[in-house]
Structure 1
């Protein structure tokens, strides 16, 4: 393990033990130390309290694509970061067999600001992405920007013809890709109404 990673993890563990346990401990790091990775959120990342998971449940609020990120430490299957100036934990919860934590972080913390390509998309696509929803006919790049990467535990490859997503642990939807790389949404009507962008709603 990288010495800086190990030191950050030790500081985190000691601060949690001093507070009486690891489970409910808030993220702690020295924001004056050099960041291990800096960049921008690749896409809209859903969160709960201070937790961003690779499950990326669509029912949760999201941090917009292009938000500045600084990653300060790694411990187990989580990273500790500032996202838009806010302390957050990034949890690699589901895709551990398919990719490492660092590989996942490299996917979601990108060096090129996605707001630059976003500005060149058609107006309706831009609006859908800003609303955190998909629009049938989107490209893979546009879908990822709107709803994030599908969890690799269920969609190991982006070359798969079907991508699996969840609004919650109970509500699932699928994006089905044609040979031209365009997609359509498959879901129960209630779920589909919540994930597909409709202008004015």
Structure 2
């Protein structure tokens, strides 16, 4: 048994990108409940398109929110309200880009507890809170910083080494991973 543990530790040291996830357990958020955002996301005019554009104001990961409402009408939408200031944002599902219904999207975006990003370096924490991708980030850190890329471009992000994000309606950003870490991407440092 100690030999198996030794090989596991050596494997983690050789490829830390495959370390155990720090993401909180997946839940089924309900209207009226208080939660924490699982990722940083952008919104324009108080609307976040689940296509996941990187324009507009930022709500950082671990923002405490109340799930005001959730409906399946018109592809699904939910309204989140910040606990600290009462600001509301409508999350609009775009099923052709998420391959999710609104309940699945809520589960992807919300958690019962904060994500312990303090386990990362200060630079990575700042980038995640700002919604910025950085060279060397793991796939999990990239998801925390930017959320999931649209499925029309990257159907199974955890299995793919190339992710394509929509920056806005007209521009895309391709991110390349090697050994589970970002090694290439336009404008990344």
TMscore range, shorter length? 0.7 to 0.9
Q: Which runs of 4+ in 1 moved over 6 A?
A: none
1:1-201 to 2 correspondence within 5 Å?
Answer: 35-75=31-71, 76=73, 77-84=76-83, 85-95=86-96, 98-114=99-115, 117-158=116-157, 159-178=159-178, 180-187=179-186, 192=187, 196-197=188-189
Q: Deviation at 1:35?
A: 3.1
8 Å contact kept, 2:51–2:94: yes
Gap change, CA 1:168 and 1:71, over 3 Å in 2 = same
Q: Deviation at 1:145?
A: 1.4
How many residue pairs end up in the alignment?
154
8 Å contact kept, 1:54–1:95: no
8 Å contact kept, 1:94–1:153: no
Where structure 2 has 5 or more consecutive residues not aligned to the other structure, the ranges are 1-29
Structure 2 CA distance for aligned equivalents of residues 185 and 168 of structure 1: 20
8 Å contact kept, 1:94–1:151: no
Measured against aligned partners, the alpha-carbon deviations of 1:101-158 in whole angstroms (never above 9, x if no partner) come to 11111101122202xx211101221222233211111111211111122122322212
TM-score, length basis structure 1 = 0.69
8 Å contact kept, 1:176–1:184: yes
Instruction: Give the alignment's Cα RMSD to 1 decimal.
Output: 2.1
Where structure 1 has 5 or more consecutive residues not aligned to the other structure, the ranges are 1-33
With a CA cutoff of 8 Å and minimum separation of 6, indicate the structure with the bigger relative contact order.
Answer: 2
TM-score, length basis structure 2 = 0.72
- Give secondary structure in 1 for the equivalent of 2:48: strand
Q: Deviation at 1:36?
A: 4.8
